Amino acid sequence: MEAPRPPLLPFVTVAREPLLDARVFRVERLRRRSGRTGREHEYFHIAAGSWVNVVALTKAGELVLVRQERHGVEATTLEIPGGMVDEGEDPAQAALRELSEETGYVGRVAEPLGWVHPNPALQANRCYTFLVRDVEAGPAHPDEEEDIEVSTVPLAHARELVRRGEITHALVVAALYLLDA
């Protein structure tokens, strides 16, 4: 029979080396010491700001969706509106701003649904999800490099879009889960 392992103890970062600044994130090499074994290991960290996702519902109960090119998968994806939280910006305000910029839809109150770590193996940032009810259409103002198509679907249809593989963005799936929870 194996001897029991000592309990998990936090790792301690003993060195941090910047490797790349890519405008929307930075890559760092970390040297971290195991709290349990005392051994040091090398890890990589992607430092990024917080993000927001917006579950926006029209007065008719339709979910606002965006289709846009995602360069990581080199294809267009179907998602909910969202984006980066600017430095010093409140996430709820960022949600309302991103919704308006990307889709033209506006709302008054961003209700927090929760947050997730997008990828805790590599990142420390958070993705906050907000619900904005009774949004009204207006002119969109996407960033210059964004090419976005906006549509709406009945909220109940969103789950089917996930099941059929039309919505594949993990953070969007998490946001829809937070809405149901």
Is the domain of 34 the same as that of 81? no
Is the domain of 44 the same as that of 58? no
Is the domain of 28 the same as that of 63? no
Is the domain of 106 the same as that of 168? yes
C-beta neighbour count of 57 within 10 angstroms: 20
In a domain, 136, yes or no: yes
Asked whether residue 181 carries a pLDDT value surpassing 80, the answer given is yes
Q: What is the mean pLDDT of residues 4-31?
A: 93
68 pLDDT band, cuts 50/70/90, is: very high
Contact 66, 175 (CB under 8 A): no
| Structural domain harbouring 38 | 12-48
pLDDT at residue 7, rounded to an integer: 85
pLDDT digits over 76-93, tens only? 999 999 999 999 999 999
pLDDT at residue 135, rounded to an integer: 98
CATH number for the domain that contains residue 166: 3.90.79.10
Q: What is the mean pLDDT of residues 19-48?
A: 95
In a domain, 3, yes or no: no
Asked whether residue 139 carries a pLDDT value surpassing 80, the answer given is yes
